[in-house]
Amino acid sequence: MSKLTYIKGDLFSAPRNSILVHACNTRGSWGAGIALAFRDRYPEQYQRYRAHCKAHGQALVGTCLLIPGDEHDVACLFTSRAYGKYKDIPAEILAATTTAVQDLMEQNIEKKPLHAW
């Protein structure tokens, strides 16, 4: 397993060719918090994420969508079916996060650096 290094700073200033990782719902919504910042900075990746959610829905929980980009790739970890007060219970989110990270690691065949919020 890889070693984690905690760095304080702006996620979006990660080096080029890095993968920016964040937890997502399966409803296709990046409407608040860090997800909104992703939507504003990466509109094309947001549209791919929305289409993927529309096509696969709740079956995405526990998976990762890795979306290539010019400066950064975006990794969407599907950790909950919904968001806000309707999000999954913590035990389900933890289990989904574990399998989604495993899925990301399998997809990251180029071993690009990962930066997460």
Q: What is the pLDDT along the chain (117 residues), one digit of tens a residue?
A: 556 677 788 999 999 999 999 999 999 999 999 999 999 999 999 999 999 999 999 999 999 999 999 999 999 999 999 988 999 999 999 999 999 999 999 999 999 989 887
The residue extents of the domains of the chain are 22-116
Give the span between the Cα atoms of 32 and 37, in whole angstroms: 8
pTM across the whole model: 0.91
Give the span between the Cα atoms of 92 and 31, in whole angstroms: 22
Strand stretches in the chain, DSSP E: 18-25, 64-67, 72-80, 114-116
In Å, what is the CA distance from 46 to each residue of 39, 43, 66?
A: 6, 5, 12
Say if residues 11 and 23 touch (Cβ distance below 8 Å): no
